[in-house]
Amino acid sequence: MFEIRPASPADRAALYRICLETADSGADATGLYRDPLLVGHIYAGPYLEFAPDFAFVLKDGAGVGGYVIGVLDTAAFEERLEREWWPGLRSRYLDPADVPPGERTPDERLAHLLHHPQRADPAVLAGYPSHLHIDLLPGAQGEGHGRRMLERLFTALREAGSPGVHLGVGGRNTRAQGFYRHVGFRELARSPSGAITMVLGL
């Protein structure tokens, strides 16, 4: 039986592992990256560190099978990343700026991202200042846990005063796109690479 509970610092390794094992458009990206921590450093670690009130895990007897992580105020979160999170990583991972984009390895693409992070569009943040990531391992998918975890996060965000949440989903991750539409998100923008920004009022 799975239960949803607030995440704790002890869940950090599980979050990093699940992040990697779902990072290839929802599928396992373990074979894609040479450094197994890089994906988690970007998409999991800072959420647990800076927004623990909006981090929840799905757990059963076998351990943590998924998580949802969010932030209340994306702009403030991005400022904090600049001050307190990226500097340490930038000193450990070189900026591959001189490698042409088309020739970068998957690790180099992520290293470039942490040196040159994309900032959220202020026009999106005006109505939907919060954002989230959700990842469940295959054994936990398709049983309604994703919906329940989003509802848990939305309750926490609503109680903290958020008017709305946005997210970014890759163009190849059609399953997650269908899930988000089904639970009420609408598409706001699509990038040339096919990545979609979706929003939901709370």
**Touching ligand ACO, residues 103-142 (CB under 6 A):** 133-136, 141-142
Q: Which residue is nearest to ligand ACO (CB)?
A: 146
Rule CB under 6 A: is residue 146 a binding residue for ligand ACO?
A: yes
Bridge partners for 3 per DSSP: 59
Exposed / middle / buried, residue 103 (Cβ in 10 Å: 0-12, 13-18, 19+): exposed
Quick check: helix, strand or coil at residue 121?
coil
Rule CB under 6 A: is residue 77 a binding residue for ligand ACO?
A: no
- 81, 46 Cβ separation under 8 angstroms: yes
Binding residues with ligand ACO: total (CB under 6 A)? 23
52 DSSP assignment:
G
- 140, 65 Cβ separation under 8 angstroms: yes
The upper half-sphere exposure of residue 194, i.e. CA atoms within 13 Å in the direction of its Cβ, equals: 7
**Touching ligand ACO, residues 3-22 (CB under 6 A):** 22
**Touching ligand ACO, residues 24-43 (CB under 6 A):** 26
Site string for ligand ACO, 157-196 (x = CB under 6 A): ----------xxx---x-xx-xx--xx-------------
Binding interface with ligand ACO (CB under 6 A): 22, 26, 133-136, 141-147, 167-169, 173, 175-176, 178-179, 182-183
